[in-house]
Amino acid sequence: MTSLYRGSLKHKDRPSTGRKGTLCPEWTHTAIDSGFNGDPFNHPWDETVAHQLFNSATVWTDGRYFATARGIAFEAKPTRDGSWHGFPVPWESVPPSILNQWLREKKVSGREIRLYKQSDKNDIRWALDSDEP
């Protein structure tokens, strides 16, 4: 895929202006030699799990990208500068045909889906639970 993946502070547990979205677990944006440095424009995204997820994502008919890792579903959307950013979504947000495909391919289990099936819109920290060892 030739599109550029770049995370967004909106989905990081860091100070930023504006409203926050669902926060991404640290493991998604840690680079090979360092953690996220706080600057989404100066971070080696190509060394992150987030970048790998984006490159292997399933594209939905409306152009959104979906991926999964560690029992969490992620969606990626384009930004205004031509790059893409991803974020955790509850399983109810994943199109059923993609979810069924991932179940068949064993990319996710029924137990994992039940764990993150729905989320309270006000709870932006729920995916950070996956940072626990």
Instruction: Return the pLDDT at 1.
Output: 41
For 26-86, the DSSP string reads HHHH--SS----S-TTSS-GGGSHHHHHHHTPEEPTTS-EEEEETTEEEEEEE-TTSEEEE
pLDDT tens-digit map of 88-120:
999 999 999 999 999 999 999 998 888 887 666
Instruction: Return the pLDDT at 16.
Output: 63
Sign of CA dihedral 83, 16, 74, 131: positive
pLDDT tens-digit map of 30-65:
888 777 777 778 888 888 888 899 999 999 988 889
Residue pair 8/111 in contact (Cβ under 8 Å)? The answer is no
Instruction: Return the pLDDT at 43.
Output: 82
The residue that leads in pLDDT, 129 or 64, is 64
Mean pLDDT across 3-22: 68
Nearest Cα to 103, choosing from 49, 58, 53?
58
Mean pLDDT across 4-8: 78
